[in-house]
Structure 1
């Protein structure tokens, strides 16, 4: 018996699963928390040493006998984070994260230098937004020049875990496409955009590999540090959204995955590049060989968690209160921009409660408005998919929000699409494990496609399908229009 290991380095925690592909069952799971450095200027950072410590804690929590069965490892990581390393592979400062909005000025500078938004879309397929990696690099060069002078390697969080395991500086197309330094159409680094930051930068970027190729093998140093087999294959891995797409079965046209976590994402597989001229959908590559057009909002379950904490509610009580309120929360609207926002592009955005009256200002309506706001943010992406001719058939729901029956029903009614939930909740870690299996089998001479492996191993939860209700769909059209009214009016304050 052998197992494959999936690692998911998220924003709030590091998670590991061990999966037995022969028996099609999870053998073990482990999790370790991650802290975050947050400042009022939009700074959101973590320390690279926290990642190594969390990884070690997770492996230590798994039985040594099970760890000894690991034949291949796949790594999922939060996208866009800038892990700056010196020539010896040591981090020279904390990691700027995907939800760091302190680089709005650098985004404007790079957009202007490139010749405007249309020029950026033509060159890379992406706009220059604060979440991406490129403006973080320029920020370091401007604000911490002594640290920048030591920069020799630019890695993303998942690349850094691969580096800890193999000592190799590599990345794959999916995660690389979220840097804004990568031409998604031809899958290569854009020298033109990297030169806008520094002509030397192209030499600091990791080597590119395909999604079915190995990043390397577990080194003797890593084997000793983490208690795992030396020589185990380490797959290319990818960004958390790319791995979640595998883990939820979104590897064919027509399926969308909606992930409800700290951030909210909506993405679908495409066999061709999808560049959104409005910039709402990021034109990412997938980690299966195709493309993965994606909407990302920085504030998804953030609003509901803030409301829950403020009112001292449990998760169960929040859901019960929200369910007691009508669709549209009697006109109460939450704009959930506690962390600024990426789509719409409001790096200086602020959260607000709107439409409150003496009659509708209740715990029930506030709870429901916070939950509805998360899905209204996803609706922006769905409309962009439809404008670009993507014919969505159903939504696969992932993330913490997928556990809520009410949120599943809201998602179905706001989008007008059936919603289904995968059996395995840890979609990113599970997707990384399946990619590791794909890479392992390819290296062993087996030529199964990733689609075939997904069909074999990704199961959907029995009874999880939620169909849209025509009357509720109509009522949500009115509620979404009300949300859009406040969004349009208040966005002017935050641009």
Structure 2
């Protein structure tokens, strides 16, 4: 059998990663990473330049040996969700890209929902309210603040779509990432015309939205001149790709009913696969589609490793010392509670929320207490999602943990104890990039007349790291439930202040 070399690209918030994988030998041949800047504004703006993504991709490829690149047969691209890339007819990016964590469009969210009859009507039309960070409000923001650029916009893209466009020249989108725009009816998998029309009643914005691509179909082949520029072979297929959470779902085998993944990254996410649409009537779960042909109800918090990094930097603690400091502090951090809303928050919906440290006294004001409290708070945010899944009649027996936070043994145990589930860790820790590579392989196998189910494919290529898996402690589960109730009460008490 020929070697099946595939490439996974993860276009993240902090940087871009490229992974090359040999599916025959089950070996990662290369993995490179390049960072790029994120621009922040006092109004909550979080923006990047799309050109920096392309430059980072090229730099990553330059550091991969020619033999590995020359063997690549398919590429899959994962990208940070919800970002808005406005592009002209000539392919020019017209403005800095507003990212998922941008909260400068809070008023536009409310304006759009009111335009379609209120948040509940928006929920009925699409399956989602327009949450802070969703793409829809960013389009309206551009229309209001930069009407000249908006007038020149011919194509609306998400970050991963833009990289696909650079590679293939095709303007397309798959259903998983599309469901994070706020413009898709996730039940019918069609653009929600009333919401699209609410952005601009004088212009046909549907003409700016891309055609859809099924999850197991290629967007197209790499353009010959781009292949030469990047040092890649001509004729490589580019798979549909998807949002980072959707690709991380593939990279953690979250492709069948009953699977659950928690990602401890810049944001915190909790998501589970469903073979039918799941709509949380209370709105805690985003009603997303998967990038595998199903659905992926998901809870997103905007502050996870953000909180621990803020505390670590303040205290001057090295990453290597975190677990030691935290291990000396008991469950519940001896009364220290953190509300980690450094970036505002999406769940709960507190775009103007601020981080809070509560309960400090002379006995618990230490580096370890503050770090442990931040870790616990991140998992309390995810526990809200577990309760929402229960409301939707979805139950789980274990959770796969991924993201940078999963490298901490203390954080893994905290997650197991607060969520009350055994925590599983995989050998492949670059889950979004690896998931994108596996989706590319899935697409390639189908094109080569060797179709395989995605469940079987992930079972063949994903391996548990047994020594890092952990089970919940029954005594700690009970202790954390009491602390969690305090966390919810503190959040509810301060919500009027945040909203004011």
TM-score by length of 2: 0.98
Give yes or no for the alignment of 1:119 onto 2:121: yes
Match of 1:91 in 2: 93
Q: Alpha-carbon deviations, 1:204-227, whole Å to 9, x = none? A: 011111100100001012102211
Alpha-carbon distance, 1:449 to partner: 1.2
Give yes or no for the alignment of 1:487 onto 2:491: yes
Query: 1:492 is paired with a residue of what secondary structure?
Result: helix
Alpha-carbon distance in structure 2 between the residues aligned to 1:296 and 1:34: 23
Alpha-carbon distance in structure 2 between the residues aligned to 1:443 and 1:113: 44
Alpha-carbon distance in structure 2 between the residues aligned to 1:357 and 1:489: 20
Match of 1:157 in 2: 159
Match of 1:472 among 473, 476, 479: 476
Give yes or no for the alignment of 1:233 onto 2:233: no
Alpha-carbon distance in structure 2 between the residues aligned to 1:222 and 1:323: 50
Structure 1 contact 331–482 (Cα < 8 Å) conserved? no
Alpha-carbon distance, 1:186 to partner: 1.1
Alpha-carbon distance, 1:435 to partner: 0.3
Alpha-carbon distance in structure 2 between the residues aligned to 1:355 and 1:112: 39
Alpha-carbon distance, 1:188 to partner: 1.2
Match of 1:81 in 2: 83
- 1:209-288 pair list within 5 angstroms: 209-288=213-292
Alpha-carbon distance in structure 2 between the residues aligned to 1:171 and 1:444: 23
Match of 2:37 among 35, 38, 55: 35
TM-score by length of 1: 0.99
Q: Which runs of 5+ in 2 are unaligned?
A: none
- 1:365-384 pair list within 5 angstroms: 365-384=369-388
Match of 1:208 in 2: 212
Match of 2:56 among 27, 46, 54: 54
Match of 1:169 in 2: 171
Alpha-carbon distance in structure 2 between the residues aligned to 1:242 and 1:6: 13
- 1:262-411 pair list within 5 angstroms: 262-411=266-415
Query: 1:17 is paired with a residue of what secondary structure?
Result: strand
Alpha-carbon distance, 1:463 to partner: 2.1
Alpha-carbon distance in structure 1 between the residues aligned to 2:299 and 2:219: 28
Alpha-carbon distance, 1:465 to partner: 2.0
Match of 2:12 in 1: 10
Match of 2:457 in 1: 453
Alpha-carbon distance in structure 2 between the residues aligned to 1:207 and 1:34: 30
Alpha-carbon distance, 1:422 to partner: 1.1
Alpha-carbon distance in structure 1 between the residues aligned to 2:58 and 2:229: 7
Alpha-carbon distance in structure 2 between the residues aligned to 1:136 and 1:493: 26
Alpha-carbon distance, 1:418 to partner: 0.5
Alpha-carbon distance in structure 1 between the residues aligned to 2:190 and 2:400: 30
Match of 2:446 in 1: 442
Query: Any runs of at least 4 consecutive aligned residues in structure 1 with deviations exceeding 6 A, and if so which?
Result: none
Q: Alpha-carbon deviations, 1:317-347, whole Å to 9, x = none? A: 2221111111111111111111111111111
Structure 1 contact 121–275 (Cα < 8 Å) conserved? no
Q: Alpha-carbon deviations, 1:17-69, whole Å to 9, x = none? A: 11101111111111100210001210000001001100100111100111000
Query: 1:423 is paired with a residue of what secondary structure?
Result: coil
Alpha-carbon distance in structure 2 between the residues aligned to 1:428 and 1:305: 21
Alpha-carbon distance, 1:4 to partner: 0.4
Match of 2:182 among 180, 183, 206: 180
Aligned Cα RMSD in Å? 0.9
Alpha-carbon distance, 1:360 to partner: 2.1
Match of 2:111 in 1: 109
Query: 1:291 is paired with a residue of what secondary structure?
Result: coil
Match of 2:196 in 1: 194
Alpha-carbon distance in structure 2 between the residues aligned to 1:43 and 1:262: 16
Structure 1 contact 34–50 (Cα < 8 Å) conserved? yes
Alpha-carbon distance in structure 2 between the residues aligned to 1:116 and 1:457: 46
Aligned length: 495
Alpha-carbon distance, 1:251 to partner: 0.8
Alpha-carbon distance in structure 2 between the residues aligned to 1:335 and 1:316: 24
